[in-house]
Amino acid sequence: MPEPSATPMNFAFAGPGPARANGRSVAVIGAGPSGLAAAGFLACLGYRVDVYDKLPKPGGLMVFGIPAERIPAGRIAQGVETLANHYGVSFHPCTKVCDRRQVDDTGDEFSTRCIDLDELVRGHDAVMLATGSWKPRRLNVPGEDLRGVYTGLAFLFPIRAAQYDRSRMSEINVAGKNVVVIGAGFSAIDVAHGALGQGAARVSMLYRRTRREAPCGSHEIELFEAAGGQWLELVTPVSILGEHGQVEGIECIQCHLGEPDEDGRRRAVPDSCAKMVLPADIVVGAIGETASPPFAERLGLESVRKNEIHWLQMTQMEGVFVAGDALSGPSKIGKAVYSGLRAAQSLSRWLTLKGINREFEYREEPPITREDLR
């Protein structure tokens, strides 16, 4: 697609160009939008920035989750190049920052190197944790562990990742198959379109509420239907059926809309008598991911969320800050960017005031509210 007069992507947009080195160094863990925005801001102020990511390319979900038709990968890559070439930011791909206790997440296949968080803390003046939210939420229905049942990210990630390294990753083969997608958010709609695009025989989306309540919006659902997909609403899965360990169908129950919940959306109430079975070769539970930063307890993320720590977005570990979906749970690129920028600003203030023993001058800053993160 031609790109007339497009201004290049610039994560270091806060300043006019590279600043004189200030002699301090920061490690950013995670090269998604929040990590890149933080890295760009800190680079503008003259920090030496090292960015670590477990994946082979920077960009986070902008590159490995969201379909390429929606975000041109070249534009992100070029923004990263500017950071590396003009601002001296060092990128360390395929490097996972580890917690020995942590279970594996989607995307671990690529990391060839493991660094301990404590090592990073020792080696830098401060650390920014921007690892996103990659831990799949489970459906909590029987049959979830059958072959052919995937989470949204586990389904989408290989489509993008296979382009980088075929030996480690291949797409899930959906050609000619019957695919059922559960959920109606961004990832659900992306999975559904992905499955249609990869030649599935039939793709159905299941949602417990109606298209009016769907987080992805009714317009997206219309596009999905126009592309040949089947939209089923007011149904919720109760179990996934299969034989010999392989999924064969999904048992659903009819729902109706009840009273609004705390978000103001009407709740889905199951009608216990109305059951049905849909045949399925592949089931994708795209009901969202949860934040899974390494060292979640040690960092006291719950306290950061409640803003109980004196410095904005600093964790319980002194000098370790947190930003983006790692803090808020799944949100949006723009929210992650804002969170990264604010955390980077807070980090820089802390280092500067600490350097001259004037931390007490810190102005109490209003945290980013839940309202802001919607």
Partner 1 sequence: MAPDETMTNVDETILFIDYSRCIGCESCESACRFIHGQARINMTRTVGGIMAPVYCRHCEAAACIKACPRGALQKGADGAVLLNPVLCAGCETKSCILACPFGGIFCTGLEDAVAKCDLCQRRRSVGMAPACVEMCPCGAMHLVTRREALALATPEYEAAHRKVMEHVRPVLAPLKRRDQE
Which residues are at the interface with ligand FAD (CB under 6 A)? Answer: 29-35, 52-55, 60-62, 65-66, 70, 96-97, 107, 130-132, 134, 152-153, 156, 186-187, 190, 294, 324-326, 330-334, 336
Instruction: Tell the smallest beta-carbon distance from residue 156 to ligand FAD (Å).
Output: 5
Q: Shortest gap between Cβ of 259 and ligand FAD (angstroms)?
A: 29
Binding mask 74-113 for partner 1 (x = CB under 8 A): -xx-------------------------------------
CB of 58 to partner 1, least distance (A): 12
For residue 132, the minimal CB distance to partner 1 (Å) is 15
**Looking at the chain, how many residues does it have?**
374
Contact between 9 and partner 1 by CB under 8 A: the answer reads yes
Which burial class, exposed, middle or buried, applies to 30 when counting CB atoms under 10 A from its CB (0-12, 13-18, 19+)?
buried
Q: Which residues pair with 233 in a beta bridge?
A: 207
- Note whether 220 binds partner 1 by CB under 8 A: yes
Sequence-separated (6 or more) residues with CB below 8 Å from residue 277: 241, 249, 250, 251, 252
For the four alpha carbons of 89, 94, 99 and 103, in that order, the dihedral sign comes to positive
Question: Minimum distance from CB of 9 to partner 1 (Å)?
Answer: 7
Q: What is the largest CA-CA distance in the chain?
A: 70
> What is the C-alpha separation between 347 and 320, in angstroms, rounded?
8
Q: Does 123 bind partner 1 (CB under 8 A)?
A: no
Q: Should residue 217 be labelled a site residue for partner 1 when binding is judged by CB under 8 A?
A: yes
- Based on the shown chain and the rule CB under 8 A, indicate whether residue 341 belongs to the binding site for partner 1: yes
- Please choose which of ligand FAD, partner 1, none residue 300 contacts, taking the beta carbon within 5 to 8 angstroms, the exact cut-off set by kind: none
Task: Check binding of 3 to partner 1 (CB under 8 A).
Answer: yes
Span from 110-118, 139-147, 197-205, 215-223 in contact with partner 1 (CB under 8 A): 215-223
Q: Output b/e per residue, 256-266; b: 16+ Cβ within 10 A.
A: ebeeeeeeeee
Quote the CA–CA distance of 135 and 122 in Å, as a whole number.
Answer: 28
Residue 316 CB neighbours (<10 A): 16
Through-space distance between the first and last CA atoms of the chain, rounded to whole angstroms? 32
CA dist., res. 71 & res. 90, Å (int): 24
Q: Least Å distance between CB 259 and partner 1?
A: 22
Q: Which two tokens stand for residue 152?
A: 């949204």
Q: Quick one: what does residue 31 bind among ligand FAD, partner 1, none, with the CB cut-off 5 to 8 Å set by partner type?
A: ligand FAD
Interface residue list for partner 1 (CB under 8 A): 3-11, 13-14, 16, 33, 37, 62, 66, 70-72, 75-76, 214-220, 222, 332-335, 337-338, 341-342
